[in-house]
Amino acid sequence: MTQSAMLKVPGAEIYYETIGSGPTLLIIPGGPQDAGVFADLARQLADRYTVVTYDPRGNSRTVVDGPLGELDLDTQADDAAALIAKIGGPAHVFGTSGGAQIGFNLAARHPESVATLVAHEPPTTVLLPDPTAAQAADQALYDTYKNHGVEAAMGQFFSENGLEDAEAPPDYEMPPEEAETFGRVMGNFEYWLAHGMLPLSNYEPDVATLRAGKPRIVVALGEQSAGQPISEMTNAAATALGSTPVTFPGDHMGFGPQAEAFARTLDETLSKP
């Protein structure tokens, strides 16, 4: 059974959920996501891990003291390290998209907290051989948000990344849990566009520390992400870290619709020495 709680950290109270038993597996959401996005994946892994999912600072049910400012990756990584300390570590960590960037920061700055980091499709624009075009696209997305609003910007984001199906609710009546998650995540779009997207995209992982450090780092790429901008970024991250991406089911959001296969691949990846 999933249990929820709040963890007091400097400047915030972090909402988190736990399910299962075994080694700690912390899931770091990407962008506007929260714990609910990973409910199916967590259930698939609960027989092997104590799975911890949470709402990052700035998203959903996490409460921040005072006004929200720009997303700070050091602070985000400190929040993740505090969760691991609360549940018990070192932990396996799965971070997706912007959550993978936070995972890189966590593994570099808190190596004692991390056993293995699986960085799923990190938007590491600065590691590209020539990041100019990718950075210009990020700035254009931000400009669309500033000039035309959240809906126009998210439509642009989904279209440019081959995720058109993620823009609209499914053509069936969603169960209450899924509907609540969908509503919360939509409510996070504005913070991500205004304060999170550019800091996450422009973050440069500390490659030298990661390559020399104790945590095992695995870069993961969805089999259906070939040809999308995120594929080039993910390969650039893997090259910088001296590895080859591990293929995971689905696309950038494969952990949702393909939760069972995704969980199996994640467990196999974490189980390797």
What pLDDT, in 10s, does the model give residues 8-31? 999 999 999 999 999 999 999 999
Instruction: For residue 209, give its domain range.
Output: 3-271
For residue 51, give the nearest of 39, 59, 61, 69 by alpha carbon: 39
Q: Is 55 helix (H, G, I), strand (E, B) or coil?
A: coil
CA dihedral of residues 188, 204, 99, 50 (deg, nearest 10)? -150
| pLDDT (average), residues 255-261 | 96
| pLDDT (average), residues 126-154 | 95
Question: pLDDT-based confidence at 272, cuts 50/70/90?
Answer: confident
pTM value surpassing 0.75: yes
Query: pLDDT, tens digit, for every residue of 149-188?
Result: 999 999 998 888 877 555 455 555 667 888 899 899 999 9
Q: Which residue has the tokens 């912390």?
A: 26
The CATH number of residue 23's host domain is 3.40.50.1820
Q: Is the pLDDT of residue 91 over 90?
A: yes
| pLDDT (average), residues 35-40 | 96
Tokens, residue 129: 């051989």
Tokens, residue 11: 């400047």
For residues 150 and 193, the answer to whether their CB atoms sit within 8 Å is: yes
Contacts of 271 (CB under 8 A, 6+ apart): none
Q: How far apart are CA 213 and CA 1, in angstroms?
A: 35
Q: How far apart are CA 34 and CA 57, in angstroms?
A: 10
Tokens, residue 33: 């996501």
Look over the chain and give the mean of its residue pLDDT values, rounded to a whole number. 94
**Amino acid 168: pLDDT:** 52
**Amino acid 253: pLDDT:** 93
Query: What's the distance, Cα to Cα, between the start and end of the chain in Å?
Result: 30
Beta strands in 113-188 (DSSP E): 114-120
Query: pLDDT, tens digit, for every residue of 202-214?
Result: 999 999 999 998 9
More confident residue, 68 or 140: 140
Residue 192's Cβ-count burial label (10 Å; 0-12, 13-18, 19+) is buried
Q: Is the pLDDT of residue 85 over 70?
A: yes
Query: pLDDT, tens digit, for every residue of 43-61?
Result: 999 999 999 999 999 999 9
**Amino acid 175: pLDDT:** 77
**Amino acid 169: pLDDT:** 55
Q: How far apart are CA 150 and CA 38, in angstroms?
A: 24
**Amino acid 160: pLDDT:** 84
**Amino acid 164: pLDDT:** 56
**Amino acid 263: pLDDT:** 98
DSSP 72: -
Q: What is the tally of structural domains in the chain?
A: 1
For residues 14 and 65, the answer to whether their CB atoms sit within 8 Å is: no
